[in-house]
Amino acid sequence: MFPCTECGLCCQNIATVKELKEFDLGNGVCKFFDMKTNSCTIYDSRPDICKVDKMFEIKYSNEFSKKEFYKLNAKVCNDLQEDYQIDRSYRIKI
């Protein structure tokens, strides 16, 4: 399973994800992201695009190994965390 550290930045940066356009509050933040708890209010029924492992299975397994796919996702996460100056303890290590 992808080692998400639950920083919440992916949920706060959905503006460029076409599959999540209807979820965008207009500022890039998902309407189902709870800023107080830093969590998804529809986590159990969230779209597949929000699930790293599911997306690997249904779309990317023919293009990447799981480890490569995890590394690419971790890079995006870690770059976002760096941009937002999130504590380094949230960095994903693959």
pTM reported for the whole predicted model: 0.90
Q: What is the pLDDT of residue 37?
A: 96
The pLDDT of residue 25:
98
pLDDT score recorded for residue 35: 95
- Summarize pLDDT for 42-63 with one digit per residue, the tens: 999 999 999 999 999 999 999 9
pLDDT band for position 72 (cuts 50, 70, 90): very high
In this prediction, residue 62 carries a pLDDT of: 98
Question: How far apart are alpha carbons 61 and 33 in whole angstroms?
Answer: 28
- Residue 54 class from Cβ within 10 Å (0-12 exposed, 13-18 middle, 19+ buried)? middle
The domain limits of the chain are: 10-89
